[in-house]
Chain A
């Protein structure tokens, strides 16, 4: 990803971002709200159209052509801040939909895959329920399972815990840590917008700090959290730690 810009009207949400993430690398992106972190990862699977620069995902150039966009989205999974589960489908149907429509799996195969991942997020017993019958934490775990069912090479997580009640954050974080551990085994790349330091320390290979649409600082989690180099990062850290 080089020199990427994104404009909302005259406001530059992303202002010349250069970033490369290696296969299998686990990156945590943090920064104050409005700094462009969400926009950044929404550009990677073209949910948000970038206005300048170039983005290459898994060897495929994202050039607004439908064929390339489809190819990238097949390999990139995403978990949203607000879950975005499909309310008119059961938990199981949510997880089976894309594997069947996009990957062309048969219903039996898709169900097997779905049950497998639902079990991993420890929610398989709720498979026939509708999303509205679940708690926020459970919904977000379903959303993680749904994204995993596509067996993505790259996983994008957009503040998966920030819309949750405090008592539910832990169950989702645990799921994400497990996801990170498995990612190391499978070689799945993870890019996660998150503020939880514990999670970042445990899982991340690298932390990226963004402000005002630009990458201000990056480094190993230990170094970033203990000895931030820039004043802006120090201000930010002091605010989230207290």
Chain B
């Protein structure tokens, strides 16, 4: 039978681990998105010198297990002497940053695929119209393409967020005490795998489920605004009286 006292005892260190899990996830997603946007533009580019490397990068990263990518960054890079002598070595020796780099580069490939798909869904006519109005390429992207693509990308990006939170558990394999790592430590102290892993699983479940619920709510609000045009109408209102004054 389950012993609830073990669960209660393990809870503080597990929650501390959950804090690290959250920090990892946020940094990974930030790094991933930063790389993903230019990568997505490269992937959609006409020139083979741009879309070729981008496609190969996405293919390779998505074709290889993420745990192996973590190992390559954490154990592998140290073998290369130019890495060891570089200024980045203190960062690359730290398992915390290794996980963020490995999973961030990984998330970048998946996110780039989502962003590129969403950008391709923006109707060509809208882009032509915006350029016909005299907007520059950058202005067209910023004011027309990206706002529309964000809505299209949102559902897929939500599941990328949840997958990233789950993927941070790989940090436990290179000595980090994230939620999974803390659970493993507790198990080796108590040898009560059921109690500890079930508690850890429950914490993960609460985080991912509540987050995906929140994200869905957020998405619904965006899409209803989009349909009824309520928000844009409100934005226009203060402008309209100003116009009549002239």
**Do A and B contact each other directly (Cβ–Cβ < 8 Å)?**
no
